[in-house]
Structure 1
Amino acid sequence: MSVNDIKEDLESQGIADAVVQQLTSRTTKKPLPLFLVKTKMPEKLAEIQRLAMLTVSFERKKKSSEPSQCYRCQRYGHTQRNCRLAERCVKCGEDHNSTSCSLPAPPTGQRNAKCCLCGEGHPANYKGCSKAPKKAASAPKAVPTTNRTSYAQKVKKPMSTSAPAAATATGTTAQKQHGDDRLLAMMQAIIIRLDALEAKMQDKH
Structure 2
Amino acid sequence: MSKLSPFAVQKGFQAIAGTLKSTKRLRDGSFLVECSRRAQAENLLRTTTFVDRPVHVSMHKTLNSSRGVIRCRELSLLSEAEIGEELKSQGVVEVHRVTVKKEGKVIPTNTLFLTFNRPDMPKELRVGYLKVKVDLFIPNPLRCFNCNKFGHTSQRCKTAAKCQRCGKDKHEEQCEGPQICSNCSGPHAASAKDCPVWKKEKEIQRIRVEKRISFPEARQLVEATSPSTGFTSNLSFADVLNKKR
Question: Which interval holds the TM-score relative to the shorter structure?
Answer: 0.3 to 0.5
Larger RCO, structure (CA 8 Å, separation 6 or more): 2
Larger radius of gyration: 1
- TM-score of the aligned structures, taking structure 2 as reference length: 0.31
- TM-score of the aligned structures, taking structure 1 as reference length: 0.35
